[in-house]
Structure formats: C-alpha cells, structure tokens
Amino acid sequence: MSIYMSEYKNKLTTPEEAVKIVKSGDNISYSHFAMTPPALDEALANRAGELKDVKVKGVCPLIVPKVATAPQSFMYYSGFFSPVDRKLREKGLCYFTPSNYGNTPLMARKGYSDPSDVLMIMTTSMDNYGYFNFGPACSEARALADVADKIIVQVNENVPWCLGGEQETIHISEVDYIVERSGPIPAIPGALPPNDVDQKIAALIAEEIEDGACLQLGIGAMPGMIGRILADSDLKDLGVQSEMMADCFIDMFEKGIITGKKKNIDRDKMTYTFALGSQRLYDFLDRNPACAILPVNLTNQPARIAMNDNAVAVNNAVEIDLYGQVNSESSGMKHISGTGGQLDFTCGAFLSRGGKAFICMSSTKEVDGQTQSRIVPWLTPGSAVTVPKTWVSRVVTEYGIANLMGQPDWIRAEMLIGIAHPDFKDELVKAAQEQGIWTRTNKIG
C-alpha cells in the first residue's frame, strides 16, 4: 500500500472541505441502499441556503438524506422508495425516477439521466493495490463513476469487502477526495413473523422448486419463510442469482442446500447486486468467495438470468386486475416502492429452461379498517403497471396458484377469481361480466 499512501494522504480531507466542490445547479449522485454516505450528506446539507437548485439522486436509503429536508437548496430524487423515501414523499420532499433497475447503468452511460457533477459514495478502506470496494451496493456505482466529473469516497472500515466478478471497485487514481468516517452499516430489522397466509403461500411456492433451481428471493416475511422451508427440505444443489442478497439465503447455504453446482453461469457463486439485512448478513458477505457481487445490468439482464436453467423468481404485488396486470409499487396515486427488478426477473425466469416466475400476494389487505381484495376488476386509478399482462405467468395467493400465461382473457379472469378470497368472488364475477370478459360459449360464473 505504501506506493499509494502519498496519494491517499494528499486526497484525504474533511467532509466539509470535500463538499465545497459542489456548485449551485450541480447534479449529485449518492451510493445506494445501506451505503448512502451519511458524513458527506450531512456536510452537503449544511450548505443549505448557500447553494441553489442542486439535484441529489439516491436509491432506497436506510437513513434520512439530510439534503431532502432542505428544499430551499436541494431537490431529492429516489429510484426506488424505502420507508424513509415514502415519508419524505408525503411531505413533498422526494421525487421518483422510474426505471427498470437492470437498465440503470446503461441509462447513466448513454446519458438518459443527467451525468453527475459529483458522485458521493461510501466504500471500504483502500487495499494494498489502491482499490476501494463498493461494499454491499454495487448496483450502478461503476457506471456512475465512469460518467461523473468528480468523485468523493467516504471510507468506512465497517463496510464488508464484497468479492465480485467485475465493476465492484474504484481505484484511488479515479478519486478526487477521500473522507474517513466509520460507523455501523445500517441494518434492517428482522421481518415480522410470518402469518398463516404467508406460510400457506410460501408452502405453495416451495412445492414448485426442484433440485438445481436457481433462486431470486426478495425481502420480507414471505421470502424469508420460503427460505426457512427450503432450508429444512431435502432439496439439493440450489443456486442463487438475485438482485438482492438477504438473510434467508444464509441458512440454506450453511445447511449445504445452496451449492450453485447446477448453474450454467457464475457456477458455485451466489450472485447479487446489493445486500440488505442484518449484521450477520454483512459479516457473511465479507470476502466470502461463495458470493459474487455484480453490477445490476448483469444480475438483472433477462437473457443472462435465462442462461441458468430452472430459474425461480419470487416477487410480491400490491394488486392484480382481472386482465393480469400487476401493480407492485403504488397504492393508487400513493407511491410505495418502484419497479426495481421485478419485471427483469419475471421475464428472465420465464425465458429460462424449466424456469418459473411467481407473483405472490395475500388475497386481501386492510385499508382504513376495511378488508379489500387484492384481485380487483381493474387497477386502482393512478396505479403503476409493474408487470404487464403479457409477461405474467404464476400468480399465487393462499388459495392456490393460477398460471395465466397463454390463456385467453376470460380464462385468466376465471383463474384469478378462483384464487381470490371467497368473500369477493361474486362481485369479481359480476365485474368480469360487466366488462364483457367472456365468449358466446364460455361465461364466467
């Protein structure tokens, strides 16, 4: 490391000095998820009133970006809403940037989004060869670095070094300023204990998974329950290609159920582009050769997902209408999350030989004390279509699995009504008939 230490010391500064390079009108990008750089964010926010029209872009932060609370100087955008972003949105302090997650590196490199005047990222400490690792948020970090004018890294010695295949590091020669500020990596609380409905849905999906399957599981009680069921199963040689690495994969790996030996690409590796979970997860990832972090354009590329046989994608939904259109990111006009990689993995799993894509949800939800069906005649006005009806195959509720792919509209509606909550079936039948979803010889009901 000695050959780089002189350069390191020359670039080492305080957060306050580093963010002085930001000018009014600049575009700023932060690193994503648990890697939002708190020291740089705070120092930049302290320039509120001095700066004007500074745009700051992040993705799914676990801390409140302080710049968002200073709208007189900053406009804050997020590419996928976290609970933090949702609260900011309610106050008019956060804007949404829609995208397919897997496309974001290409969007940056092609200039579809404004290039960053300054990129601010949290990283590991520098290694002996002058490299900093992006930690558990590879995502589009390398692409953002490639197009940024200036780069500031916040070094945090607690960040796990996440081994990968490519584009998971940045060299000191590319960095303009270095700030040292360590602290715990934000962890997410454990998922709420799964209820009976979650357990029924998880059991239905687990029955569909075979030896050698390649998994994508997200966060939440239901994917966690699937992981626990699979960890206690006699399945063999499961693989992982997921955008998110979560705690639910650890037990399966430690019990020898995940080996990756049947994968056609990235064999023996659990591939992912970001991690969110407990400290146990971050400790597990640190220099673990069983795991490989990759940029999101590789983990989420449908054609690349399909290169592994028996790809299984499990994703949640907010609601689905009788035509099979899936909304997974909004409650009417109230934005909840984002498209993320749901469409990427739904397409990739369908294209995979033996692959299966699942959209899962409880049959009902509670809204203002009222029970409502998640299977609806039409999407709530203002709702986003996350997965179009042309790509939806297996929809799962606690009442069963409906495979819609290739079916005409009246059969799709009938299948969805078949897995709806019994209390809502009659009104769904009536709605389907009123919309003309039938033929002369086949009628719903």
- Sequence-ordered list of residues with C-beta below 8 angstroms from that of 380, at least 6 positions apart, any chain: 319, 327, 331, 332
Beta bridge partners of 403: 394
What's the distance, Cα to Cα, between the start and end of the chain in Å? Answer: 73
If DSSP codes are grouped into helix, strand and coil, which group holds residue 141?
helix
Quote the DSSP letter at residue 185: P
Cα 325 versus chain centre, distance: 20
If DSSP codes are grouped into helix, strand and coil, which group holds residue 83?
helix
Cα distance between residue 327 and residue 320, in whole Å: 6
Spot the catalytic one: 168, 243, 319, 398: 243
Question: Is 140 known to be catalytic?
Answer: no
CB distance 412 to 323 below 8 Å: yes
Which helix (H) or strand (E) segment is 414 a member of?
helix 409-418
CB distance 330 to 382 below 8 Å: yes
356 φψ region: left (φ > 0), alpha (ψ -120 to 50), beta (else): beta
CB distance 374 to 361 below 8 Å: yes
Which helix (H) or strand (E) segment is 122 a member of?
strand 118-123
Which active-site residues does the annotation give? Answer: 243
